[in-house]
Amino acid sequence: MAQARRYAGGVDGNRSLERGIEILRAFRPGVDTLGNGEIAERTGLPRSTVSRLTRTLVNSGMLDEVRAERAYRLAASVISIGHAMRTGSPVLNEIGAMMRAESAKRRLNVGLATADRTMMVYLESIRYSPRAALRNVVAGQQVPMELTSLGRAYLAGIAETRREQLLKLFKRRSAAATKALLADVRTSISSVERDGYCAVSWQPAVLAVATPIVLEGLPVYALNMSLQNVDRSAALASELGAYLNAFAAKCKEVLASR
């Protein structure tokens, strides 16, 4: 009857695979282990189904079983695949080294991110610190799209229809302060259109600027620069913005000739 399509109120696709992926997603940063019960709760799937799917994920090497606590944790395979994603990314390959150099030269944080649903996820985030030992690089960390310069630059870079979809999702997500927030987001988007970048101070004493990178055949990325322990000032923002615009121009040049 059904032709591998449109199962109970869904879109095309393979239900078991979708559910298996949902289970993997249930492991968020900070969550170490999850038992089948907790997974069932978080995903809304029947317990017996979860039991079978986690078994499959263990066999496929995506989950490790912790027999003692009857629980599972993400296995090493997931970072292998993550690594394949990063090394496969043409953008990161081309400009990763430039980002490091720029971070060292300007003494600030430089990041490259793209969207995962309604979050921005860093492909690379180079954290500058005066002490060399504290400098570090993070990949995979998520920050909220609507609250960050990265996310707003991304929104400015994507197709309008998609942007409006996402804005609706934010509205549904945060009950309070929605109106002001959305206005803020739109201001940032205009700022990108006018100046090439937007500045947001999402976290206290951190000033961040970001700009979109739009390339044919690739998802939209956003590039950012940020400084910790500073007072937010318009002058500083426009200085950072100028650095960012110059750097982004250099990146786009390199990427265009790939």
Residue range at the interface with DNA (CB under 7 A); choices 10-18, 86-94, 168-176, 231-239: 10-18
Which DSSP category does 118 fall into?
Answer: T
Which of its own copies, DNA, none interacts with 46 (beta carbon under 5 to 8 A by kind)?
A: DNA
Residue number with CB closer to its own copies (41 or 94):
94
* Beta strand extents in the chain (DSSP E only): 63-66, 71-74, 109-116, 119-127, 136-138, 142-144, 198-200, 206-213, 221-228
Of the candidates 36, 148, 149, 191, which one interacts with DNA according to CB under 7 A?
36
Shortest CB 231 distance to its own copies, Å: 28
51 binds, among DNA, its own copies, none (CB under 5 to 8 A by kind): DNA
**Per rule CB under 7 A, is residue 14 in the interface with DNA?**
yes
Choose from its own copies, DNA, none: what does 36 bind? Cβ within 5-8 Å by kind: DNA
- Which amino acid is residue 44, in one-letter code? G
CA torsion, ordered 152, 156, 159, 161, to nearest 10 deg:
60
Residues 91/255, Cβ–Cβ less than 8 Å: yes
Question: By CB under 7 A, is residue 53 in contact with DNA?
Answer: yes
- Locate 172 and state its tokens: 């549904």
Pick 85 or 249: Cβ nearer its own copies: 85
70 touches which of DNA, its own copies, none (CB within 5 to 8 A by kind)? DNA
In angstroms, what is the minimal distance from the CB of 48 to DNA? 3
Contacts with DNA by CB under 7 A: the residue count is 29
CA gap 148, 226 in Å, rounded: 11
Query: What token pair was written down for 180?
Result: 């002001």
Per CB under 7 A, contacts with DNA among 16-35 are 16-17, 19, 35
Residue 64 contact partner, candidates its own copies, DNA, none, CB within 5 to 8 A by sort of partner: its own copies
Q: Could you tell me which of 170, 155, 176, 245 has the C-alpha nearest to residue 209?
A: 245
If contact means CB under 5 to 8 A according to the sort of partner, which of its own copies, DNA, none does residue 87 touch? its own copies
Considering only residues 66 through 125, tell me which ones interact with DNA, judged by CB under 7 A: 68, 70
Closest to its own copies by CB, 158 or 181: 158
Is residue 13 a contact partner of residue 49, using CB atoms and an 8 Å limit? no
Assign 144 to helix, strand or coil.
strand
| CA distances (Å), origin 23, targets 10, 85, 152 | 18, 20, 29
Q: Is the CA virtual torsion 182, 187, 193, 196 positive or negative?
A: negative
Q: Which stretch binds DNA (CB under 7 A): 43-51, 104-112, 123-131, 236-244?
A: 43-51
Residues in the chain: 258
Q: At 201, is the secondary structure helix, strand, or coil?
A: coil
Footprint on this chain of DNA (rule: CB under 7 A): 1-4, 7-8, 13-17, 19, 35-38, 40, 45-49, 51-55, 68, 70
